[in-house]
Amino acid sequence: MSSVSSRGEPHWLRHTVLILGAIVMAYPLVWMIVSSIKPESIIFSDQSIWPSQVDFSNYAQGWNGLGMPFGNFFVNSFTIAAGAVVGNLVACSLAAYAFGRLKFPGRRPLFGLMLGTMMLPAHATLIPQYILFFHLGWVNTYLPMVAPKFLAVDAFFIFLMVQFIRGLPRELDEAAAIDGASSFGIYWHIVLPLMRPALVTTAIFTFIWTYDDFMTPLIYLSDMTRYTVPQGLRLFLASTGKSSWGPLLAMSVLSLVPVFAVFLAFQRQLIEGISRTGGKG
C-alpha cells in the first residue's frame, strides 16, 4: 500500500496537519467544558487542561441563579425553533415546487427577485419590520420570529429545494397527471416524499439558526419569562462588571447539547441533502 497521496505528499503529513487543525479548533470548546467545572475563583488563573479543583456547583447556580429555572429559556427557544421549522418546511417547499415545476407568467423574474433578497442586509429591513409588528401588536410575543416563516421569507431554503426538485424526473409528474392528479396532488404525493433529504437539511439549519439567534429575540422580547437561551446566557454578564463566569460557562455547555444532538442524529441526511442539491444548476 502506498504511503504517498496522489498529490505527492506523504499520508502521515496530511493526517498530522488535520489532527493539529482539529486540536486548534476544539480547544475553545474543551476550555469551556473544563472551566465550567472549576471554582469561579480559579477559572482564569488555572490554565491547565485538567483543573486542580473540581466543582460542579456552577451548574446548580446557573440553573437556578436567575430567579427562574434556566430550563424556561430552553422551552422558549424550542417553542420558537419548532414554529420556525414547521413554517419553513411548509412555505418554502410550496414556493420551491412552484418555481421548480409549475409554469406561470413571470416565473423567472420572480425567481431572480427572490434570489436578490438573499443579498439584502437584514439591517436594512429591521426598522420597517419592527414598525409593522409593533402596529400589529406582536412585540413581546413569539409571532415576529415565527409568523414570517409561514410566508417563505428564507430565500436560501427555497433555492435549496428548487435545486433538489430540478433533479427529480419529470416523468413522475407526467404519470401522476395522466392518472388525474392535480398540481397539489403531485406536490403532496410525488414531490414531497422524494424531497426528504432537502427537507431534513432545511429543518436542521432552521433549528440551529433560530436556536442560536440572539439579535431577533433581543429586539422583540422584553419580558424575561419569554427570553430565549442566548438572552438567558446574557443575563449572567452584569453591566456593573461583576459577572458570573462559572454559571455562564456551565449553562453555555448545556446550551450546546441540543445542537450537537440534532447534528449527530441527522448528520447523514444533512450530508445527503447538501450533496444532492449543491451540484445542480
43 and 35 in contact (C-beta within 8 Å)?
Answer: yes
Q: From CA 176, how far away is CA 9, in angstroms rounded?
A: 54
Q: What is the pLDDT along the chain (281 residues), one digit of tens a residue?
A: 445 555 555 788 888 888 999 889 988 899 999 999 998 888 888 777 777 788 889 999 999 988 899 999 999 999 999 999 999 999 999 999 999 999 999 999 999 999 999 888 888 899 999 999 999 999 999 999 999 999 999 999 999 999 999 989 999 999 999 989 999 999 999 999 999 989 999 999 999 999 999 999 999 999 999 999 999 999 998 655 567 899 999 999 999 999 999 988 888 877 777 776 654 44
- Give CATH superfamily name and number for 71-277: MetI-like (1.10.3720.10)
Please give the grid coordinates belonging to residue 115: 434570489
* C-alpha grid cell, residue 120: 439584502
Let me know: does 276 contact 197? Beta carbons within 8 Å.
Answer: yes
Which of 120, 101, 228, 107 has its CA nearest to residue 166?
101
Could you give the CA distance from residue 255 to residue 230 in angstroms, rounded to a whole number?
9
Amino acid making up residue 147? A
Looking up cell 409593533 gives 134
Per-residue confidence (pLDDT) for residue 239, from 0 to 100: 53
pLDDT value at residue 8: 53
| Domain residue spans of the chain | 11-63, 71-277
- The answer to whether 195 and 164 are in contact (CB under 8 A) is yes
The total number of residues shown for the chain amounts to: 281
Give dist(CA 189, CA 67) in Å, integer. 50
- Quick one: pLDDT at residue 191? 94
Question: Is 141 within 8 Å of 254 (Cβ atoms)?
Answer: no
103, 114, 187: which is closest to 153 by C-alpha?
Answer: 114
Are the beta carbons of 139 and 220 closer than 8 angstroms?
yes
Q: Is 264 exposed, middle or buried (0-12, 13-18, 19+ CB in 10 A)?
A: exposed
Query: Helix crossing, 71-101 with 245-277: angle to 10°?
Result: 20
pLDDT for 207 equals 96
Query: What CA–CA distance (Å, rounded) separates 278 from 262?
Result: 22
